[in-house]
Amino acid sequence: MNRYLAVLRVFSLILIMFAGTMTVPVVVAWIYKDGAQYAYDEGIAITLITGALIWLFTHNQRRELHIKDGFLLVVMTWTLLPAFAAIPLMSYFWPNLSFTDAYFETVSGLTTTGATVLSGLDNLPFSINLWRGELVWLGGMGLIVLATAILPLLGVGGRQMFKAEAPGPMKDTKLTPRMAETAKGLWAVYFAISIACFFALRWAGMTWGDAVIHTGSIMGLGGFSSHDASFGFWDSPKIELVTMTFMTIAGMNFATHFLVWRQRSAAPYKFDPEARWYLVVMWGSVLGVAYYLWYLDAYADFLTALRYAAFNVVSIATTTGFANTDYNLWPLFAPLWMLFLSSFVTCSGSTGGGIKMVRAMVLYKQTFREVIRSMHPAAVQPIKLGGETLQNNIVFAVLAFGFMYMVLIVSFTLLMAYSGLDIVTSFSAVVACINNTGPGLNQVGPATTFAVLDDFQTWICTSAMLLGRLEIFTLLVVLSPAFWRK
Tell me whether residue 212 or residue 394 sits nearer to other proteins (CB atom). 394
Task: Choose which of 378, 481, 485, 486 interacts with other proteins (CB under 8 A).
Answer: 378
Rule CB under 8 A: choose which of 367, 377, 482, 485 binds other proteins: 377
Nearer to other proteins (CB atom), residue 266 or residue 375: 375
Q: Could you tell me which stretch among 143-151, 243-251, 378-386, 421-429 binds other proteins (CB under 8 A)?
A: 378-386
Closest CA to 345 of 310, 373, 385, 316: 316
Residue 384 lies near other proteins (rule: CB under 8 A): yes
In order, the DSSP letters of 252-310 are S-HHHHHHHHHHTSSHHHHH-HHHHHHHHHHHHHHHHHHHHHHHTTSSSSHHHHHHHHH
Q: Which is nearer to other proteins, 178 or 384 (CB)?
A: 384
Q: How far is the CB of 381 from other proteins (least distance, A)?
A: 6
Eight-state DSSP code of residue 176: S
| Number of CB atoms found within 10 A of residue 206's CB | 23
- Nearest residue to 366 (alpha-carbon basis) of 384, 339, 386: 384
**Quick one: 207 or 389, whose CB is closer to other proteins?**
389
Q: Which stretch binds other proteins (CB under 8 A): 108-116, 212-220, 270-278, 375-383?
A: 375-383
Sign of the dihedral through C-alpha 173, 176, 182, 188? negative
> Helices (DSSP H) in 165-272: which residue ranges?
179-204, 208-219, 237-250, 254-263, 267-271
Q: Which stretch binds other proteins (CB under 8 A): 99-107, 377-385, 414-422, 443-451?
A: 377-385
**23 or 392: CB nearest other proteins:** 392
374 is a contact residue toward other proteins (CB under 8 A): no
Check residue 67 for interaction with other proteins (CB under 8 A). Answer: no
Residues 6+ apart with CB under 8 A from 379: 372, 373
Smallest separation, CB 370 to other proteins (Å) = 15
How many residues are there in the chain?
486
List beta partners, residue 388.
Answer: 385
Regarding 33 and contact with other proteins (CB under 8 A), the answer is no
The answer to whether 389 contacts other proteins (rule: CB under 8 A) is: yes
Region of 271-279, 281-289, 311-319, 379-387 interacting with other proteins (CB under 8 A): 379-387
Between 64 and 165, name the residue whose CB sits nearer to other proteins: 165
| Coil/strand/helix, residue 348 | coil
Taking residue 352's Cβ as centre, other Cβ atoms within 10 Å add up to 31
> Which positions lie near other proteins, rule CB under 8 A?
372, 376-382, 384, 388-389
